Amino acid sequence: MKILLRFYIVALLLLLCSGCYKIKGSYGGPKNFNPQMRPLQPLDVALPAGYTIEPIASGLTYPTGITFDEQGTVYVTESGYAYGEVWLPPKLLRLNPDGTTTQIAAGDKNGPWTGTAYHDGFFYVSEGGQLEGGRILKISRTGQITRLVEGLPSYGDHHTDAPVIGKDGYLYFGQGTATNSGVVGTDNYHYGWLKRNPTFHDIPCQDIVLTGQNFTTYNPLTEDDKDEVTTGAYLPFGTPSTPNQTIKGAIPCSGAIFRVPLQGGPLELVAWGLRNPYGLSFSPNGQLYVTDNGYDTRGSRPGYGTGDVLWAVQSGKWYGWPDFASGQPMASDDYKTPHDDPKFLLAQHPGTPPKPAAILGVHSSSNGLDFSRTATFGHVGEAFIAQFGDMTPEVGHTYGPVGFKVVRVNPATGVIEDFAVNKSKTNGPASIMKNGGLERPIAVKFNPEGTALYVVDFGIMPMTEQGPAPKQQTGVVWKITKTAAR
């Protein structure tokens, strides 16, 4: 009865919040699409009155991040690695006024490069490190690459995430978790990395004590289809835990925010207990915020209905992963699935998670963010967040496509409003809507003057029976400006 009641409540909320959009099945994008045929039609994107949008670069391959130098020149990262086990060299590109690009630097196949920041003649790039571990790279204007940080635990589901530079002379970045919810399972084999790194697992940032809950699955690492293994939290696949077992903490660790001096130095832990702290940005008053991707309905310990989160970052704080979602305990009826009832993995919690600044859409993949800081653009002090869009059915099913747009958030109230969204009777990427609008926004950044918002659109990535199928040369950078008073 509780499940049925929750279904009706969720359906009612979706209807009330969907405006002109109707609920329909979602499969994370189109099954087939010719990347050479992607149209770009700014009028297909709905914006508030007085704003306009235009594409300033196209034909990019898996763009993920954007930054500006002192002259306002635009630079973009291409990730190289993409879900679907696609491997290309990651790149840092300069966007030229005519829409062409010039390569500044390229890396080895250790992507994804998830984002970049610029300061005093150098670019700082987060290298996701799917093959060799995560790194923070320092790149000169002539393309010389040095490693500021390396050895980050990035072989799993989530990676070393986009950087931001503070006024204190430190570079801040997020490090995602290896797994969905703390336990290595067959879903990680299907993601590709468990076969490459069968002993990899999540690492806590300080000593933790386990409840001893274990999970038994078939073993995809053997040819015996009857072979089963039992796995505990924060342990390698096939290694069970015991009640009150202590797992030693270490730095670097999983699911955390770190900082490092721009000139190099020791890695410092800022906060932990995050699942995938993808986007970081400082508000006009100097407060650091982060977007955190919520749990998927997959793996040995699935979570149902956990939204993405915008957090105000408090130094030293634990944010609840893997036992809390949006500050609420996973061990509750709110997050149980029809076949699974998530219980606590930790016998003792490192603290009480804070209250989120905002709770964003379930499976929306709310990623890069930036804050408006000028009246010229408007909405001063509000966060603009790029929503990559759902990857159903791989992460769990939704009632309709979620994300595929840019939203703005008032961090003081938690109120979320659409800012840039495709015009259609149903929500979704342009390739489903059959128009020339947004596909998968992954990052946003205001120019140095704060007068224009740049949106990095990753491009076409349909979900197929084999998983994500990203399309090369379909990425776009859009520019949004305010042209009239509201």
Considering the four listed CATH numbers 3.40.50.10420, 2.70.98.90, 2.120.10.30, 3.90.1150.10, the one that applies to the domain covering 2-482 is 2.120.10.30
Cα–Cα distance for residue pair 270/272, rounded to 1 Å:
7
* Amino acid 485: pLDDT: 54
Nearest to 124 by CA among 306, 280, 299: 280
17-27 core/surface letters (b: 16 or more CB in 10 A; e: else):
eeeebeeeebb
Q: Is 253 helix (H, G, I), strand (E, B) or coil?
A: coil
Cα–Cα distance for residue pair 75/95, rounded to 1 Å:
6
302-320 core/surface letters (b: 16 or more CB in 10 A; e: else):
bbbbbbbbbbbbeeebbbb
In 219-319, beta strands by DSSP E:
228-232, 246-247, 256-261, 268-272, 277-282, 288-292, 307-312
Domain-by-domain residue ranges, the chain? 2-482
Contact 293, 311 (CB under 8 A): no
351-383 core/surface letters (b: 16 or more CB in 10 A; e: else):
eebbebbbbbbbbbbbbbbbbbbeeebebeebb
* Amino acid 20: pLDDT: 33
- The structure's pTM equals 0.92
* Amino acid 37: pLDDT: 64
pLDDT lower than 50: segments of the chain: 1-27, 29-33, 35-36, 486
pLDDT digits (tens, 9 = 90+) for 284-324: 999 999 999 999 999 999 988 899 999 999 999 999 999 99
